[in-house]
Amino acid sequence: MSRILIADDHAFFRGGLEAALNAAGHEVVASVENGEEALSALGRTDPDVVILDIRMPVKDGVCTLAAMRAANDNRPVVILAAEVEDRVLKELMAAGANAIIYKNGAELRLLDAVRTVQDGARFFDADLLDRAFSQASGVRAGSYRDSLNPREIAIAERVAQGKRNREIAEDLGLTEATVKIYLHGIYSRLNLANRTALALLVQQDQQQAA
């Protein structure tokens, strides 16, 4: 199970998250009330997953995530939000949020989110996935299969699973350099900005097909 850091300025809500995570076998190694305390606790506690409230005093979730990424800290981050404006959603996507879920009923979905980001994939509440994808690309959801050949589809789906280029290359009997060439072609053909946008496109299509 995972070692987890929680940052949320509402002690009662934070306590509920801790109880749910502990009951599921996770270890909450730090529980703090703002982003500054979260950044300070990272080095001391070395969590596997970081859970950040989007609105906190001193340093909010967006700024805290951005600070982590600027320091080359790429461990999974789950963002909790009562609501998310399009501008803020775009900032979270650009900073590399691994999961974004609404706080209402978060105790239930949080466990799925933690498991998903630990597996290297992303987790978004349904309407956030739609909005996040629209922020990342103008491609119609589900259209990627019509635009790619079977090898490109296989690569795209492995990207959505959170696999790195080396793992994709091993799966498909390719070199990493060849995978990179394929990815650049996929981005260009689908009018995508990056790997995150591709993963979102595939995940959105899979959710709609389920």
Residues 156-163 have a mean pLDDT of 88
pLDDT-derived band at 136 (thresholds 50, 70, 90) equals low
Domain ranges of the chain: 3-135, 138-209
Q: Which fold has domain 138-209?
A: Arc Repressor Mutant, subunit A (1.10.10)
For position 170, what pLDDT does the model report?
Answer: 94
Q: Is the pLDDT of residue 120 over 70?
A: yes
Q: Is the pLDDT of residue 210 over 80?
A: no
Backbone φ and ψ of 116, nearest 5°? -65, -45
Element (H, E) at 3: strand 3-7
Whole-number Cα distances in Å, 6 to 14, 38, 41, 84, 150: 7, 8, 10, 19, 41
For position 146, what pLDDT does the model report?
Answer: 78
- CA dihedral over 114, 116, 122, 123, signed as positive or negative: negative
pLDDT-derived band at 130 (thresholds 50, 70, 90) equals low
- Do the first three CATH levels of 3-135 and 138-209 match, i.e. the same topology? no
pLDDT-derived band at 156 (thresholds 50, 70, 90) equals very high
Task: Give per-residue pLDDT as tens, 84-105.
Answer: 887 788 788 777 888 998 888 7
Q: Is the pLDDT of residue 200 over 70?
A: yes
Residues 120-140 have a mean pLDDT of 67
For position 106, what pLDDT does the model report?
Answer: 76
Report DSSP letters for 42-103, one per residue: HHHH--SEEEEESS-SSS-HHHHHHHHHHTT--S-EEEEES---HHHHHHHHHHT-SEEEES
pLDDT-derived band at 51 (thresholds 50, 70, 90) equals very high
Q: Is the pLDDT of residue 61 over 70?
A: yes
For position 108, what pLDDT does the model report?
Answer: 75
Whether 119 contacts 147, CB under 8 Å: no
Alpha-carbon distance of 99 to 147, in angstroms, equals 27
Task: Give per-residue pLDDT as tens, 176-199.
Answer: 999 999 998 888 878 777 787 788
In 3D, which of 40, 37, 6, 41 has the Cα closest to residue 21?
6
For position 56, what pLDDT does the model report?
Answer: 92
The superfamily in CATH containing domain 3-135 is: Response regulator (3.40.50.2300)
